[in-house]
Chains A and B, each alone.
Chain A
Amino acid sequence: MINSTVFFKGLNSLKGSKSPAIPLAACFIALGALLRDAGFNLQQSAASSLFTYALPGQLVMAESLLLGASIINIFIAVWLVNFRLYPMTVSLFPLLVHKSQPKWKYYLSCHFLAVSSWLIAKDSYKKIEKKNRIDFWIGVGVGTWTTAILMTVVGYLSAEYLNKDMVIGLAIVNPVYFFCMMIGAMKNLSISVAVILGTILGPVIYTISTEWSLLFSGLIAGSIAFLFRGKYGK
């Protein structure tokens, strides 16, 4: 059903010099501590990472709860901040598709889609035979997802031993990791334009609209970057 050799190859991407384990651990430990402050119990914190598994959305949820936002507001705010997962899935899954593979694998494993797993898969899919790519992806996903859930629990349990400086230190690890991975991904002109323009537009549009900034800056910067394809890039 699942090719175990390829699955473990995916799982093994947690090791090595490009490992996402450290940044994932750092940010989910920080999240666990934050959820405890927001009044969550241990089971709820673990469930949040188990079922949501998307850090920016979980942060938005915790902050909205602290501010006393309504359920509808939480839904809209989370949907807007996590909408990035839609273009991310569409730009990854066609690379993993193979006729011989059942559809349920794709429908279930889309839950593993997060920045870290996406960056790893985009970085290494070419090394895997097309037929087995989905199993590789499931391996990557299971590894990153499990790490996130376990570290949320660790963060929750160790919250009282973490001082504020340590939590802030943990919180910077994730953006640094993503930034480095993105710079590593800038292999052609259109992706480079997409990354640089997106980084600039994100905070600029945020000053105009906090909720819609990601959607708009992604669409604008991405569409401009798209024009730079072809002769100069792929």
Chain B
Amino acid sequence: MLFYLEANMESNQFILIAIIVTSLATFISRFMGALTSERVSVKSKIFLWFNCVAYSTLAALLGRMIIFPAGVLAESELIVRLIVIFTCVILFIMTKKNLVIPTIISAILLSVLTNF
């Protein structure tokens, strides 16, 4: 019992440290961004470059999330995820850029296709 409690406390501490470390690692990028922004003018070329890199990095993250997902999404089939994405993008364009409809449909469609 004592051993279990000790082990539990240790894992609790480890989780706390992990939360702090994760938050720090995340905040560094945000804060450095805020500092750099003070020296970047909207009209400069470097701003345009950062803008392109920001969109590309986000797109890269998205591409990775769909093709090589982390977490539970990895348990669905790739082809199913692709079908869902394409259907929802078409819905998004058809509904004149409504985002509520495609997002709700995506969850339903994925569940239905996974169990098909």
Contacts and interface: CB of A to CB of B under 8 A. Distances in A.
Secondary structure call for the A interface: helix
Contact of B107 (A44, A62, A94, A169): A169
A168 to B, nearest CB: 5
Secondary structure call for the B interface: helix
A202 B63 contact: yes
A52 interface: yes
B52 to A, nearest CB: 4
Interface residues of B, number: 79
A173 B11 contact: no
Nearest to B71: A59
A18 B92 CA distance: 11
Contact of A225 (B21, B28, B55): B55
Contact of A113 (B21, B33, B40): B33
A195 B59 contact: yes
A190 B110 CA distance: 32
Given A110-B34, A213-B64, A165 B103 contact: no
Interface of A: 17-20, 22-23, 26, 30, 34, 39-41, 44, 47-48, 51-54, 56-65, 71, 74-76, 78-79, 81-95, 97, 106-107, 110-111, 113, 115, 118, 164-185, 190-191, 193-203, 205-206, 213-215, 217-223, 225-226, 229, 234
Interface of B: 11-12, 14-34, 36-38, 40-42, 47-73, 75-76, 81, 84-85, 88-89, 92-93, 97-100, 102-104, 106-108, 110-111, 114-115
11 contacts: A19-B99, A56-B61, A75-B22, A82-B25, A89-B32, A168-B73, A173-B104, A175-B62, A197-B59, A198-B55, A203-B64
